Amino acid sequence: MKNRMMSNRYFWMLLFCLTLGTNVLMAQATETVTLYVDTDRLQNNTPANEVNNYCNFGQDPSISNEDYLIEVNVGDVVNWRGVANNGVDIVNIEKIIVQGGPNPFPADRDELDGGGDGGRVVSVQMARATGNETCKYMVKFSIQRGDAPVARIFDIDPRLRVMQE
């Protein structure tokens, strides 16, 4: 009887450890992609081909915004958010739009709208792998200086790769 009770105890401990281990292994990660914007210098009349001069993702200066690549896994959540370099203005991520390559977003959605107050963000859980290919997407963002939003939506277009775990 005592051996059977010990066996039961070991069985339940083993089952608990396996369940815990499986949950840890299958846990999704959250990747936050932060767009840093020099809102003091980026103006309504800034030509579209110069917008990249005033924003980045914190990457090495030798990597352009167009070549900036994030790599995540299927099931991971990606949050895009904007930050003003001056710490005062608000950068709103208005939309994420798929431009080319495999679409990793749920239900083949080509556009994801921003939400939230005090700085709009876009958040999505990756639904499909892109494999070795990359998804080219556009980040549409706006700036609010004090109570006055800048009357323009700016665009930049980095890349995304979603791997199968």
CATH number of the domain encompassing residue 86: 2.60.40.3910
**Pairing relationship of beta strands 90-100 and 135-145 according to DSSP bridges:** antiparallel
Q: Can you give the pTM of this predicted structure?
A: 0.81
The model's pLDDT over 24-51, given as tens digits with 9 standing for 90+, comes to 445 589 999 999 999 999 999 999 999 9
pLDDT band at 20 (very low <50, low <70, confident <90, very high): very low
23 or 54: which carries more pLDDT confidence? 54
148 in the Ramachandran plot: left (φ > 0), alpha (ψ -120 to 50) or beta?
A: beta
For the chain, what is the domain count? 1
The model's pLDDT over 64-94, given as tens digits with 9 standing for 90+, comes to 999 999 999 999 999 999 999 999 999 999 9
Residue 8 has pLDDT above 90, yes or no: no
**Rounded CA separation 56/147 (Å):** 24
Whether 50 maps to a domain, the answer reads yes
Q: CA angle 73-158-27, nearest 5°?
A: 15
In this prediction, residues 108-119 reach a mean pLDDT of 85
Number of C-beta neighbours around residue 153 at 10 A: 12
Whether 92 maps to a domain, the answer reads yes
The whole domain housing 119 covers 29-163
Whether 153 maps to a domain, the answer reads yes
Which helix (H) or strand (E) is 16 found in, with range? helix 2-25
- Nearest by Cα to 149 from 39, 17, 12: 39
Q: Give the pLDDT confidence score for residue 24 in this predicted structure.
A: 42
Whether 60 maps to a domain, the answer reads yes
